[in-house]
Amino acid sequence: MQREMIERAKALLADGTVNRVIGWKAGEFDYDITPAVFTTAEELDAGFLYNDLCAANLSKYLIKESRKEGKILAFLKPCDTYSFSQLLKEHRIWRDHVYVIGVPCEGKVDVDTVKSKGITGICSMRCDGETVRVETLYGEESIKKDEAMADRCLNCKSKKHVVYDELMGEEGDVLDSHRFDMVEKLENMTPDERFAFWRGELSRCIRCNACRNVCPACTCEKCVFDNDASGIAQKAAVDSFEENMFHIIRAFHVAGRCTDCGECSRVCPQNIPLHLLNRKFIKDIDELYGEYQAGADPDTKPPLNTFTQEDAEPSVIYERGGNK
């Protein structure tokens, strides 16, 4: 697939369809891949990469990139196309400045997951069918791919591309993901247990803002937490309660717009399962306003921006909340 992608990118550069290509660039090890813009065939040959380790969602970069002169070729995985489509819906990306090629994704191997299984000193990694072969400072190891995959990929919601100009490889389907299983578990806890769970998780936050900055739904020109005039700007929290509030406010702000791409949890240096907050909102929206997948199509009206007489009344809080 990587070879075909490079050839196709070169052809589109050569015939003038695009003047840049956004993709993934090889690093020092196999797993430390960086999003990058390529402008020549030589650059593509030297560093362009696409494999089971290319995890970054490139959609958010297209907000800036699409405002530049000329068209950019973007290779998007299925889940990235949901983010891209949602950003189009919010008029954040200039569609006619992007040429989208949908590329298949078999689920991404995550180096932190591999390390959590006790394999350390990883100098190289490659997927060999359903096995991941790892060379470490301490010898060779192997691990099954589904044990090495990122959590978000184990609960993949869709292998279908929702927007593209061209597809490479085989198109997939929307999947039965079981992605709300953990949310249900949390819902079934008592309020005290749930509070303890989230305090435990969120108290590790170091307010690095990686979750916010990587999030394709967080596209404010100036975040309320960076804006002195907002009165709530803060670089650090007074206590861990404020850390909680930062994440809860952010989850509210992206509610109905979060496509569940899982980048927030992927980048969190403290392994906080932030995606669970967003999934709770998605599940609630599904239950209260009818099934809705942000980014799935350009036309469906977002339930939180649309009034209908069937909408949930505020009393729903009393009906659903409290001790169960």
Establish if 121 lies at the interface with another protein (CB under 8 A): yes
CB of 212 to another protein, least distance (A): 8
217: left (phi over 0), alpha (psi -120 to 50) or beta: alpha
Beta-strand runs (E) in the chain:
20-25, 34-38, 48-49, 72-76, 98-102, 122-128, 131-136, 139-144, 166-167
CB of 74 to another protein, least distance (A): 14
Site size for another protein (CB under 8 A):
43
Distance, CA of 29 to chain centre = 22
For 109, counting Cβ atoms within 10 Å of its Cβ (0-12 exposed, 13-18 middle, 19+ buried), the class is: buried
Choose between 121 and 290: whose C-beta lies nearer to another protein. Answer: 121
CB of 312 to another protein, least distance (A): 33
Choose between 232 and 316: whose C-beta lies nearer to another protein. Answer: 232
Choose between 176 and 239: whose C-beta lies nearer to another protein. Answer: 239
Taking the C-alpha atoms of residue 286 and residue 258, their distance in angstroms, rounded to an integer, is 13
Choose between 109 and 162: whose C-beta lies nearer to another protein. Answer: 109
Establish if 33 lies at the interface with another protein (CB under 8 A): yes
Taking the C-alpha atoms of residue 320 and residue 93, their distance in angstroms, rounded to an integer, is 38
Beta bridge partner(s), residue 132: 127, 143
CB of 127 to another protein, least distance (A): 18
Side-chain half-sphere CA neighbours of 188 within 13 A: 6
Choose between 28 and 170: whose C-beta lies nearer to another protein. Answer: 28
Helix axes 240-254, 191-202, angle to 10 degrees: 100
For 46, counting Cβ atoms within 10 Å of its Cβ (0-12 exposed, 13-18 middle, 19+ buried), the class is: exposed
Binding mask 259-278 for another protein (x = CB under 8 A): -------xx-xxxx------
Binding mask 165-204 for another protein (x = CB under 8 A): -----------------------------------xx--x
Residue from 123, 189, 248, 317 touching another protein (CB under 8 A): that is 123
The residue assigned the tokens 């969602």 is: 57
Residue from 15, 176, 238, 307 touching another protein (CB under 8 A): that is 238
Question: Considering only residues 53-92, where is the footprint of another protein by CB under 8 A?
Answer: 56, 61
Q: How many CB atoms lie within 10 A of CB 133?
A: 13
Instruction: Give the binding site for another protein (CB under 8 A).
Output: 27-29, 31-37, 56, 61, 112, 116, 120-123, 136-138, 200-201, 204, 206-210, 212-214, 226, 235-238, 266-267, 269-272
